[in-house]
Amino acid sequence: MLHFLIRRILLTIPVVLGVATLVFSLIHLVPGDPVQAMLGESASPADIVELRARLGLDRPLLVQYGAFLKGLTRGDLGTSLRTSQPVAAAIAERMPATFELALVAMAMATLFAIPLGIIAAVRAGTRVDHAATTLALVGMSMPNFYLGPLLAIVFSVGLGWFPVSGRGTPAHLVLPAITLAAPLAAILARMTRASVLDELHELYVLAARARGVSRFRAVMIHAFRNSLIPIVTVLGLQFGAVLTGAVITETIFAWPGVGRLLIQSIGFRDYPLVQGCILLIAVTYVSMNLLTDLLYGLLDPRIRYE
């Protein structure tokens, strides 16, 4: 187990390095001068040259890349070109909001989708199953950039039930969390239905029913428990997708998280801040994959780590 954990951690290093290299390359190839954007169109050439030298943007790209990697080894993500604030500090200020939104969305999706998937599996082929499948398809086909404004128009502008933007009260969290949770809930409900349905046809479930085990215990204790691995896999992989979807959702609802910070940083050509935000999302995604692999051994003792 320890050997597996160390090997997986070591394998994440080239992944993060590859993401850092790709982001650094693409950001610097995007047209636009961050110094010009910071100083405005009326800035003099002397001011532009002076600020570019002060920020280190006059150095060759390889030198800037080397300095960036060296800073990563010390936990230094650089300094924001726009605010002169350390990137790590700027991201740390926004992380609680993003993780709060992501965790609530995950909880909402899990509490709704798993019971729905179990009911659909138990009632396979009935109207309940068809209704659950249709609902899941609608959730999967409705993107965040459409669902978010739709919810805001109906429940904020039209009915006035929830705030349309900002953060501060539980009411502010409802609409953005639903926007993030809907696609995840749809995928999770489909996976739960398929996984539980497969287990219900296994001989050990039929044997349990023949021994007099109640239907509820046969479904929840036997079938559902043994169907958890694909469900946990979806949850682990979709957590990274939730963080990615938060970029759009936070922008729609003016949620002060890392996603909105990323969009603002792209607009200002704030290279260090863009790199820091994307690296955070990438590291979180890789960490969730690692955690998912480790949970396999807890859920199914038959799994052995070579």
* pLDDT digits 0-9 by tens, 122-137: 887 788 878 888 888 8
Q: Is 232 left (phi over 0), alpha (psi -120 to 50) or beta?
A: alpha
Which carries the bigger pLDDT value, residue 266 or residue 4?
Answer: 266
Supply the mean pLDDT for the chain.
Answer: 78
Average the pLDDT over 108-128 and give the result: 84
What is residue 86's three-state secondary structure? strand
- How much is the pLDDT for 253? 83
Average the pLDDT over 43-68 and give the result: 76
- How much is the pLDDT for 177? 87
Could you tell me the pLDDT band of residue 152, with boundaries at 50, 70 and 90? confident
Could you tell me the pLDDT band of residue 38, with boundaries at 50, 70 and 90? low
- How much is the pLDDT for 39? 66
- What is the CB neighbour count within 10 angstroms for residue 232? 17
Dihedral (CA of 20, 25, 31, 35) sign: positive
Which carries the bigger pLDDT value, residue 204 or residue 99?
Answer: 99
Q: Where are the domains of the chain?
A: 94-299
- How much is the pLDDT for 17? 81
- How much is the pLDDT for 31? 66
Average the pLDDT over 17-36 and give the result: 73
The tens digit of pLDDT for each residue in 153-192 reads 888 888 878 887 777 788 888 888 888 888 888 888 888 8
- How much is the pLDDT for 49? 79
CATH architecture group of domain 94-299: Orthogonal Bundle (1.10)
Q: Is the pTM of this model over 0.85?
A: no
Average the pLDDT over 222-244 and give the result: 75
What is residue 79's three-state secondary structure? strand
- How much is the pLDDT for 304? 54
Spatial distance between the Cα atoms of 202 and 197, rounded to a whole number of angstroms: 9
Two tokens at 290? Answer: 């690692």
Residue type for position 261? L
Share of the chain above pLDDT 70, in %: 88
Least confident of 37-51, 139-153, 187-201: 37-51
- How much is the pLDDT for 108? 87
Cβ 142 vs Cβ 215: under 8 Å: no
Flag whether pLDDT at 149 surpasses 70: yes
Flag whether pLDDT at 306 surpasses 60: no
What is residue 83's three-state secondary structure? coil
